[in-house]
Amino acid sequence: MRVALLGSGRGSNAEAVLRAQAEGRLGRATAAGVWCDVPTAPMLALGPRFGVPATYLDPGPFRTKFSPEREAAWASALRDAGVDLVVLAGFMRVVKAPLLEAFAGRMINLHPSLLPAFPGLDGIGQAWRAGAPESGCTVHWVNAAVDGGAHLGQSRVRREPDDTQESFAAKIHAAEHALLPKVIAELAERPPFR
Ligand code: GAR
């Protein structure tokens, strides 16, 4: 199962997947590369570090969505790379047809909350400001509803009395770094990937 890691920024979750692969914890999954919609994203440096292709692709002129032409170009690029599973790991752009159609049932997203709670932007800040006693992270299938697809895995993180928003966020990120590679390895054992 060849996995494309799509992101827009830091890339700590893509790094966690690449590290899992390097340490033999990704099972039958292989990272095909990193694709980024921001030319200056630190995530692009993961390519040379882990010996995988790292590619900036123009998403078009909009901030939170693709232009239809550019979305078709992304779909072609990922198809040409022989990608089986698309992983949105900190990818801050809504995916619709034609990219979603090209990878229907073969695209997953990582979100920093216990969905369905706190979907959309800044899931950690939303949970913090709401005073939620716990939050966490979710890996789910991508469908046309933003953060709405069926869940593949969740990890819970408690908010302790001495937490700051920063320490709470750090614990959620650590939970993400463990959960995402685990879900990818599990998916590689399931049809249609196996
Ligand atoms: C992660 O916390 C991820 O869950 C979140 O962006 C962060 C990316 O961090 N994604 C979303 O909020 C998607 N709606 P990273 O670039 O260090 O992996």
End-to-end Cα distance, the chain: 7
Cα–Cα dist 28/188, whole Å: 6
Please tell me whether residue 34 adopts helix, strand or coil conformation. Answer: strand
Please indicate whether residue 111 is annotated as part of the active site: yes
∠ CA(126), CA(137), CA(10), 5° rounding? 85
Residues of the chain above pLDDT 90, percent: 98
Average of pLDDT values for 48-67? 97
Q: Say which residues have a Cβ less than 8 Å from residue 88's Cβ, sequence separation at least 6.
A: 6, 7, 95, 107, 108, 109, 110, 142
For the Cβ of 135 lying below 6 angstroms from any atom of ligand 1, the answer is no
Q: Across the beta sheet with 30-36, what order do the strands follow?
A: 54-56, 30-36, 2-7, 85-88, 107-111, 134-141, 151-158
User: pLDDT per residue over 123-143, tens digit each?
Assistant: 999 999 999 999 999 999 999
For the chain, percent of residues with pLDDT exceeding 70: 100
Most ligand 1 atoms within 8 A of CB, residue of 173, 177, 179, 180 to mutate: 173
Cβ 136 under 6 angstroms from ligand 1: no
Q: Please, which residues bridge with residue 35 across strands?
A: 6, 55
**The pLDDT of residue 132:** 98
Q: What one-character DSSP code corresponds to residue 134?
A: E
Q: How far is CA 85 from CA 42, 57, 123, 149, 185, in A?
A: 23, 18, 24, 15, 11
Measured by CA distance, the residue closest to atom 1 of ligand 1 is 90
Using 50, 70 and 90 to split pLDDT, how confident is the model at 12? very high
Q: pTM value? A: 0.97
Higher pLDDT, 146 or 122: 122
What integer pLDDT is reported at residue 108 of this predicted model? 98
Q: Which domains does the chain have, with CATH numbers?
A: 2-109+141-154+179-187 (3.40.50.170)
Strand partners, 103: none
Encode pLDDT of 77-95 as tens digits.
Answer: 999 999 999 999 999 999 9
Residues, the chain, total? Answer: 194
Q: What is the 173 CA–ligand 1 centroid distance (Å)?
A: 8
Q: Where are the alpha helices (DSSP H) in the chain?
A: 12-22, 46-50, 68-80, 99-102, 123-130, 165-187
